[in-house]
Amino acid sequence: DAGITQSPRHKVTETGTPVTLRCHQTENHRYMYWYRQDPGHGLRLIHYSYGVKDTDKGEVSDGYSVSRSKTEDFLLTLESATSSQTSVYFCAISESGGGREPQHFGDGTRLSIL
C-alpha cells in the first residue's frame, strides 16, 4: 500500500468551529488531492496541490482552504464548519497530474458536524 496517512480518522465537531485535516505521504509524490465522498455524489475534488506552496481549486472548493508547506504534508481546513460539510474526506497522491496516472488513496477521515 502507498504510504498515505490521514488524521484524524474520525472527528465530531460543532457548526462554526474550525477543523483541520491532515494528509501525510511517504512516497515523495508531487501531486496531492483532497476529495469528499457523499452518497449520491460519488467522489468530488475539493483542492489539489502540484508542489510545495502550489495549490489549485477543484469542483467543490467553497468553504475549504488548503496548505502545503512540505512535500509530504497537505492540510485541508474548514474555517467555519457547516453541517453540509459532514462527509468522508479522502486524500490521494500521484506522481503526475491531470489524470494521466493512477492515484493512491488514504483510508479517509469521517467528519461529522453537528
Interface with other proteins (CB under 8 A)? 4, 40-45, 48, 56-59, 90, 92, 97-108
Q: Which is nearer to other proteins, 30 or 44 (CB)?
A: 44
CA atoms within 13 Å, Cβ hemisphere of 63:
15
Q: Among candidates 8, 9, 7, 16, which has minimal Cα distance to 83? A: 16
Q: Which is nearer to other proteins, 9 or 70 (CB)?
A: 9
We find the least distance from the C-beta atom of residue 107 to other proteins, in angstroms, to be: 5
**How are beta strands 109-113 and 10-13 bridged, if at all?**
parallel
Q: Which is nearer to other proteins, 48 or 74 (CB)?
A: 48
